[in-house]
Amino acid sequence: MYKFLQKLGKSLMLPVAALPICGILMGLGYALAPGVMGVPGAPTTGAAFTVGFLLVKAGGALIDNMHWLFVIGVAVGMADDKDGTSALAGLVSFLMMKSLLAPGVVTTIMPAINDDPVRLLAFQKFENVFPAIVAGLIGATCYNKFKNTQLPDWLAFFSGKRCVAIVTGVVSIGASVILLFVWPIIFGALYAVGQAIIGLDVVGVGIYTFLNRLLIPTGLHHALNNVFWFDTVGIGDLTHFWAGRVMGDVVDGTTINWSVGMYMAGFFPCMMFGIAGAAVAMVRAAKNKKVAIGIVLSAAVCAFLCGVTEPFEFSFMFLAFPLYVVYALLYAIFAMITVALGFRAGFCFSAGATDLVFSASLPAAQNTLLVIPIGIAAFAVFYLVFYFAIKKFNLKTPGNEDEDAEAEEAKIVLSNNDFTAIASGVLKAIGGKENVSNVDYCTTRLRFEIKDYTAINEKAIKAAGAAGVIRPSKNACQVIIGPKVQFVYDELKKML
């Protein structure tokens, strides 16, 4: 399972790498054009508004369609040989499930869903990261399983990779049937949890915030957000905040009986300062600091400016999930502290500096300058906790993965460039193709899954031209080649 999650985590890094620039563009856009967020009194015309509007739309092009990025990233990353056919298969799967589970379709085949607002909302919120990852996994699995399928002569045109999309479509129909019943149950359960914690005041804020972060990997946080932020069941913290309402106001005969903004305020210190502290800890603890800096520091800038946290969270949530649970718990603690101290703020997009500045003038906003001392405390605590956990337990965060030990291996120079001879020698020394279950490669190493570890001859592997051998388990063997590993791998694949 760990190996699967590690591979999934790496697959998610491709789409995640596209997100930081979007967050920065949106942050700058909102700063230039607060009218885009509907800030009362903000101009909605002029050069600054036009430029800001375009920047927001440019950044939103990917942020708003993030699920498509994850479909393709997972489908390609989880495929055995990173072939584009797997991306097509993932896309087929998501298009199939998206269409079959659209609100108009499910209410046609099951009209009773129209009478259940929560079940209907579940299908209205289907286009998110969790179904996207499921579709990517379906596409990759179908590709790995059926890419070499041989069909009868009269169907020969659809043999091999051409049959992958067809099989994927059939599998996705079955998956849609399962999700038709399972998805609203999961969504509804979380919705019910949200209702149960509303009356717990500050403690309820902590529980909500913890679950909000914990559910980010699945996209199911939308179920909770609809309970607390929007007027789905009569709460609408975000809706009331931007409408200029405060506690005690009466709306449609119902009195607002909570401190407006309390379900948003706690995110600001964590997103603006806490993530920055965690990012610095990751860089300091990393073996390969250049990799860490490139991934997490840009993500921290996104989080600070406009509250886009996915580039940071997806960089480690699958590789070091226990640390992600701690991360969610830190959010909960600081959310409770923030609300207890009387800080109130709101957001239209997310809890970044841009929304904080433009929400500060609204009636429900309170003690907004408290974000500075609370934020400094969040920075320090996130830093200390992350640094201790990464160093103590050798957690696989950006720049600290197993592959980062290959930084020195990247300097290896092969004695010759006869890649065919090297591949042939390594294959023979590994026990022949009969002993190979699977082979892949990374920055500098060939990564074998083997059947019989006793058949491996390490001296012969080195004699073939490899720089070294690592044997992490009985069924795994890593052969260190150096930066030209891809060329050896290509020859090896031909032999297999």
| Same-domain pairing of 392 and 460 | no
- Which residue is listed with tokens 């193709």? 433
pLDDT in tens, 65-100: 878 888 998 899 888 877 788 999 999 999 999 999
The domain boundary, picked from 170, 194, 218, lies at 194
| Same-domain pairing of 250 and 398 | yes
| Same-domain pairing of 210 and 134 | no
| Same-domain pairing of 222 and 96 | no
- Give 146-151 contacts, CB < 8 A, sequence gap 24+: 147/80, 147/83, 147/85
| Same-domain pairing of 369 and 350 | yes
| Same-domain pairing of 292 and 333 | yes
- Quick one: pLDDT at residue 58? 85
Strand ranges for 1-117 from DSSP E? none
- Quick one: pLDDT at residue 340? 96
| Same-domain pairing of 399 and 419 | no
> What is 344-387 written as a DSSP string?
B---SS-SSHHHHHHHTTSTT-B-GGGHHHHHHHHHHHHHHHHH
pLDDT in tens, 277-323: 999 999 999 888 887 888 888 889 889 988 888 888 988 887 788 99
**Count of domains forming the chain:** 3
465: left (phi over 0), alpha (psi -120 to 50) or beta: left
Note whether 484 and 414 are within 8 A (CB): yes
Note whether 78 and 6 are within 8 A (CB): no
What range defines the domain where residue 260 resides?
Answer: 197-405
Task: Name the least confident of 223-237, 322-336, 355-369, 420-434.
Answer: 223-237
Given the residues 22, 348, 442, 477, select the one marked as catalytic.
442
pLDDT in tens, 5-31: 667 766 766 776 676 676 667 767 777
pLDDT in tens, 96-153: 999 999 999 999 999 999 988 888 888 887 887 778 889 999 999 999 888 888 877 7
pLDDT in tens, 427-483: 999 999 899 988 888 767 898 989 998 899 988 998 888 888 888 778 888 898 887
- Quick one: pLDDT at residue 407? 47
Strand, helix or coil for residue 139:
helix
Q: Provide the CATH number for the domain around residue 422.
A: 3.30.1360.60
Rg (CA), the chain: 26
| Same-domain pairing of 151 and 213 | no
| Beta-strand relationship, 436-441 and 445-450 | antiparallel
The domain boundary, picked from 405, 422, 451, lies at 405
| Same-domain pairing of 394 and 439 | no
| Same-domain pairing of 241 and 366 | yes
Exposure string (b/e) for 214-253, b if CB count within 10 Å is 16 or more?
A: bbbbbbbbbbbbbbbbeebeebbbbbbbbbebbeeeeeee
- Quick one: pLDDT at residue 23? 61
| Same-domain pairing of 69 and 112 | yes
Instruction: Using pLDDT thresholds of 50, 70 and 90, give the confidence band for residue 39.
Output: low
Cα–Cα dist 375/338, whole Å: 10
pLDDT in tens, 362-421: 889 999 999 999 999 999 999 999 999 999 998 888 887 655 444 444 455 566 778 899
The domain boundary, picked from 387, 405, 423, lies at 405
Note whether 111 and 94 are within 8 A (CB): no
pLDDT at 185 over 60: yes
| Same-domain pairing of 10 and 136 | yes
Q: Does the annotation count 442 as an active-site position?
A: yes
Note whether 208 and 197 are within 8 A (CB): yes
